[in-house]
Structure 1
């Protein structure tokens, strides 16, 4: 029976990778005029690239797994932040 690889998360995973992906996707969206529908896919690809080639370069399976984590965490964090800001603005307008 094959065992799943041991994947250690570290400071890079928790604090740096996801905000970097969010920043890069927003810069690409602003300067390259990418349609918003493509931004989640780009975030996922950037997450995979960072994870496979930088943070987990010696373990492909861990790199792919954590790359999906990076990308989808960035997508979810952005969506949550955007929803919070919209709700705050609507609440502020009602007052």
Structure 2
């Protein structure tokens, strides 16, 4: 089995991940899911964006990169939140 060639580009870092962060935050504000569902929602958005937008026609690549998009969004948000809370001096933990 040949593995697909995967190129990371401008779309991945500058567009897809912030879109996933924004969509996930909108879901958190509107639907108010339980906190343990939020990472799953980000992964689902990552998979949908990757499979149907950025890597359409290449299912294996879309699934592979979709997980990276979702996890990158989760990690980026957690890092931003932790940095912000540390800057403010708040003892709250990042979720």
Q: What TM-score comes out, normalization by structure 1 length?
A: 0.90
Whichever structure has more helix as a proportion of its residues is 1
- The unaligned stretches of length 5 or more in structure 1 are none
**C-alpha distance in 2 between matches for 1:21 and 1:68:** 12
Mapped pair 1:44 → 2:43:
yes
Number of residue pairs matched by the alignment:
90
**C-alpha distance in 1 between matches for 2:72 and 2:5:** 20
Query: Partner of 1:59 in structure 2?
Result: 58
**C-alpha distance in 1 between matches for 2:42 and 2:3:** 25
CA RMSD of aligned residues (A): 1.1
How far 1:33 moved relative to its partner? 1.2
> Alignment partner of 1:34: what SS?
coil
Query: Partner of 1:3 in structure 2?
Result: 2
Query: Partner of 2:80 in structure 1?
Result: 81
How far 1:37 moved relative to its partner? 1.3
Query: Partner of 1:17 in structure 2?
Result: 16
Mapped pair 1:35 → 2:34:
yes
**C-alpha distance in 1 between matches for 2:76 and 2:54:** 20
CA offsets per residue over residues 29-79 of structure 1, 9 Å max, x none? 001111221110000000001100111011111000110010000000011
